[in-house]
Structure 1
Amino acid sequence: MGVVTENVSVKPTMDELVARAAAMLPWLREQADAVEAARSVPPETIQAFREAGFFKILQPAAWGGYEMNPEAFYRVLMELGRGCPSSAWNLMILGIHQWEFGKLDPRAGDELWAEDQEILVASSYAPCGKVRKVNGGWMLSGTWPTSSGSDHCEGGAFLGARVFDDDGNMLDHRSFLVRREDYELIDDWYVVGLAGTGSKTLRVKGEVFVPDHRSHSIVDYTMGYGPLTYRLPFNQVFFGAVSSVVVGFANGMVDLFVEHMKPRQNVFVGGPVAAQNPFVQEKLGNAVLLIRSARARILQCIHESTMYAERNQPVPLDLRVHYFLDIQGVAKDCFTAGHMMFKKSSARGVFNSNPLQRQLRALLVAANHITQNEDDTSALLGGYLLGQGVPPCVFELPQAN
């Protein structure tokens, strides 16, 4: 059952964490079908990720974490996504929230991890709820879809809502940390791919109070005074995590495609074996090019951003606008690569018993995630380069009149 590591309280290197993830791949691939059938990642897998130290990668040191650069988390996701897409997706969602606590008032982390520093938090950042400001905090209500891995989260959930003024003008898009006892889960996750993520709908019970120290702006990019890793933009770090696990899904298809094609014989008389077929070779080569290019963009974005954080400087808006598309275009490239390989698998690829189609369905669903919206983001970058500025409440709060 997974890979149990020793001395995970000692901060590992990034390479050690990636090696732990790679060692889990055979086990994750073996259980991937069962995870999809159960529509939920088993607790044993979440525990294996804990024992490997994966949930500590982005957790602040003040609460027992490794406080590492997001690159370490990204590289682990790129490995795990090759094995079981749903399990890797759960780690991505439930592991990115530890970084978010570095953006919050420290009282939020003190409250959550006072007795148990391994408690996990769910999320649904879509602005589906209603919120109003009150003395000392906010009153929040509503229903949020697709809260991945929420069954594993005793610590509550980060929920998104937009703030408006009395005239209906949008002022902010904020994240609110709601206690577990304040919401219920609705089991409605019946989907074509990533079925094992358990991404249930979350409904707040009535209207609940969220104190100011358990909320932050998703839009307003503030540096704060904490360690380097928490000086990075929220959207870039979160979106980059989604894109990283998508790269893992695509590389998982490469693994399976190579395994599938090496021994395969061509059914047509006189034709070459599949591995000698130039069209099979071409599709594989170009698929790998797309995947590696997407992976390189993610890592370049985080490397460049980190250089600014090291100088205690904000990442310039000009770069953030470019990074937005660099990261959101990942699923398009990876799905294109996956479909190229799937097409060459011919009839064998369509059977449920063939794991190629599981990886492709994961890519299909991930490409629909809001963080992979390359169409709107392409127009946003184009408009910016043509001198049209950027829409309010995407990168910055609206300017006060």
Structure 2
Amino acid sequence: MQEASAASSTFEVPEPDLTPREIVARAAAMRPELLERQQETEERTFYAQDTHEAFARAGFYRILQPRRFGGHEFDLETYFRVIIEIARGCPSSGWCLCLGGAHVLQVASMYDEAAQADFFGPDGHFVCASYGAPVGVAQPRDDGYVIAGKFSYASGIPYSTHFMGQTLLHPEDPQDPGLMFVIPAEQYERLDDWHGVLGMRGSGSHSIQIDDAWIPASHTARVFMVDLPVEGGTVGSRLHGNPMYAGRTLGFFHGEFGAIMVGSAYAALDEYQRIITSRPATWIPTMKRYELVDYQRYLGEAIAEIACAEAAVIQGAQQWMELARMNVEEDRPFTAEDDARLEALQATACRIAWHAVEGILFRTGGSAGARDGQRMQRYWRDMSTYWSHNTPAQRDFLLTGLGRRRLGLPIVPPGPDPAAS
């Protein structure tokens, strides 16, 4: 984990001497309370106001935020380690925090100093949910744009100060890169529609409705969120003197999921250990399950797989940081192929973490853990829901595209290979 950069500060930085190790320890210390409040978090559909305030005091929303605007400006590894700890206490809370606190990275990369000063406001408190697919429409008006549309799955929106979205200027043009925009909370309505889902019930993944809201052109960018133009540096990397603000999107976005899935797997591991040390063996009721060699092996195998997934997530974060550095400081661009490889790495970490839970811990933990209200069932539901997200749902397309890039073949949309016809 890297210390913050020495970039000049416009805002006062809370706890300027805080270290990455200390902020990760704060996250770990919150696990017991998050664990006890899982059920109420699911029922509310997001974590409580006092939890949000505790996260803010701990500095979690400022981990990736530039010091110039009151952030800690730590690296991706630090952010992912914090999310792993929070998700270990409550996967839903980890998802809600992670996807609300992460998009500061794109905002600090793609917008100029004046726009960033608008976003970060008078005190530097900034939380920004997002939805990456192009939705709705934007109409030019008076040196700005009028935005309209319904944006779903805005995870982290309950405590967001802003929303970052992607919309279209010319929907009829398939080559239109669209418009990435940042809009403050007072210009959208959060809908109470995050109910009836299988898992991540407390992730705050509500929709928002934007009804003809005008924003200045400086709060928009003619870019596609998942394919940002970062080669050689960005306005943000030059402003903040930190190449972290000139990195690509997909490897980072899927790393968020990787951290959440690893933390969730550790939560299931903790629950599994509680189960086998407290429950009698089925056929030998005079013994506890942990005394049987089979359960010892199951536990050991799960530990190894989760450790492997965690190592991949952290290594992916470190590689991302190095590629961003080389993109700015050396003649070595951060390419789309690099990004695809890192995304595939993080997706594979998620698959390994999932196997540890679905294939080992849930399978051998006993039917009692599958009942409503049981933590093992909740972790299985939460991690199952990851697979329904749009990005992992297109895993085959991702891996095919990675292979095609390696072979020098063009990337094609999902479906038959036109070259084969």
TM-score by length of 1: 0.88
- The 2-side partners of 1:34 and 1:358 are apart by 13
- The 2-side partners of 1:10 and 1:391 are apart by 47
- The 2-side partners of 1:310 and 1:123 are apart by 25
Q: CA deviation at 1:363?
A: 0.6
Q: Are the aligned partners of 1:221 and 1:234 in contact in 2 as well (CA < 8 Å)? A: no
Q: Are the aligned partners of 1:242 and 1:371 in contact in 2 as well (CA < 8 Å)? A: no
Tell me which amino acid in the other structure corresponds to 2:116.
G
Tell me which amino acid in the other structure corresponds to 1:38.
R
- The 1-side partners of 2:392 and 2:23 are apart by 26
**Alignment partner of 2:89 out of 70, 74, 83:** 83
Q: Confirm or deny that 1:253 pairs with 2:268.
A: yes
Structure 2 SS opposite 1:59? coil
Q: How does 1:207-222 map to 2 (within 5 A)?
A: 208-215=214-221, 217=223, 218=225, 219-222=227-230
- The 2-side partners of 1:391 and 1:131 are apart by 28
Q: Deviations over 1:255-313 (max 9, x none)?
A: 11112112322121489642233433333333333322222222222222322333424
Structure 1 SS opposite 2:165? strand
In structure 1, the partner of 2:9 is none
- The 2-side partners of 1:172 and 1:46 are apart by 35
Q: CA deviation at 1:143?
A: 0.8
Q: Deviations over 1:201-259 (max 9, x none)?
A: 11111364452443362213312124122122123223212221221111111111112
**Range with bigger deviation, 188-197 or 296-305:** 296-305
**Alignment partner of 1:363 out of 383, 406, 413:** 383
Cα RMSD, aligned residues only: 2.4
- The 1-side partners of 2:222 and 2:32 are apart by 39
Q: CA deviation at 1:169?
A: 2.1
Q: Are the aligned partners of 1:107 and 1:213 in contact in 2 as well (CA < 8 Å)? A: no
In structure 2, the partner of 1:352 is 372
Q: 1:329 to 1:271 in 2, by over 3 A?
A: farther
Tell me which amino acid in the other structure corresponds to 1:220.
L
Q: 1:386 to 1:308 in 2, by over 3 A?
A: closer
Q: Are the aligned partners of 2:163 and 2:183 in contact in 1 as well (CA < 8 Å)? A: yes
Q: 1:274 to 1:58 in 2, by over 3 A?
A: same
Q: 1:28 to 1:270 in 2, by over 3 A?
A: closer
In structure 1, the partner of 2:48 is 42
**Alignment partner of 1:283 out of 278, 285, 298:** 298
Q: Confirm or deny that 1:120 pairs with 2:127.
A: yes
- The 1-side partners of 2:409 and 2:140 are apart by 32
Q: 1:212 to 1:109 in 2, by over 3 A?
A: closer
**Alignment partner of 2:209 out of 190, 200, 203:** 203
- Count how many residue pairs are aligned between Structure 1 and Structure 2: 384
Q: Confirm or deny that 1:146 pairs with 2:156.
A: no
**Range with bigger deviation, 379-388 or 243-252:** 379-388
In structure 2, the partner of 1:395 is none
- The 2-side partners of 1:46 and 1:278 are apart by 43
TM-score by length of 2: 0.84
Structure 1 SS opposite 2:127? coil
- The 2-side partners of 1:55 and 1:112 are apart by 14
**Alignment partner of 2:398 out of 354, 377, 394:** 377
**Alignment partner of 2:28 out of 8, 18, 22:** 22
Q: 1:176 to 1:35 in 2, by over 3 A?
A: same
**Range with bigger deviation, 254-263 or 366-375:** 366-375
**Alignment partner of 1:129 out of 130, 136, 144:** 136
Identical positions, percent? 25
Q: Deviations over 1:303-353 (max 9, x none)?
A: 223223334243244422211211123332222211121111122111223
* Residue segments in structure 2 that go unaligned for 5+ positions in a row: 1-12, 414-421
Q: Deviations over 1:173-200 (max 9, x none)?
A: 5421123232222211111111112221
Q: Confirm or deny that 1:192 pairs with 2:198.
A: yes
Q: 1:278 to 1:269 in 2, by over 3 A?
A: closer
Q: 1:335 to 1:162 in 2, by over 3 A?
A: farther
Q: Confirm or deny that 1:183 pairs with 2:188.
A: yes
- The 2-side partners of 1:187 and 1:253 are apart by 29
Q: Are the aligned partners of 1:41 and 1:149 in contact in 2 as well (CA < 8 Å)? A: no
- The 1-side partners of 2:243 and 2:155 are apart by 28
Q: How does 1:257-272 map to 2 (within 5 A)?
A: 257-269=272-284
Q: 1:321 to 1:196 in 2, by over 3 A?
A: closer
**Range with bigger deviation, 308-317 or 370-379:** 308-317
Q: 1:281 to 1:355 in 2, by over 3 A?
A: same
In structure 2, the partner of 1:241 is 256
Q: Confirm or deny that 1:332 pairs with 2:358.
A: no
Q: Confirm or deny that 1:156 pairs with 2:157.
A: no
Tell me which amino acid in the other structure corresponds to 2:191.
I
- The 1-side partners of 2:278 and 2:92 are apart by 28
Tell me which amino acid in the other structure corresponds to 1:297.
A
Q: Are the aligned partners of 2:64 and 2:73 in contact in 1 as well (CA < 8 Å)? A: yes
- The 1-side partners of 2:374 and 2:269 are apart by 14
In structure 2, the partner of 1:322 is 341
**Alignment partner of 1:171 out of 162, 166, 176:** 176
In structure 2, the partner of 1:396 is none
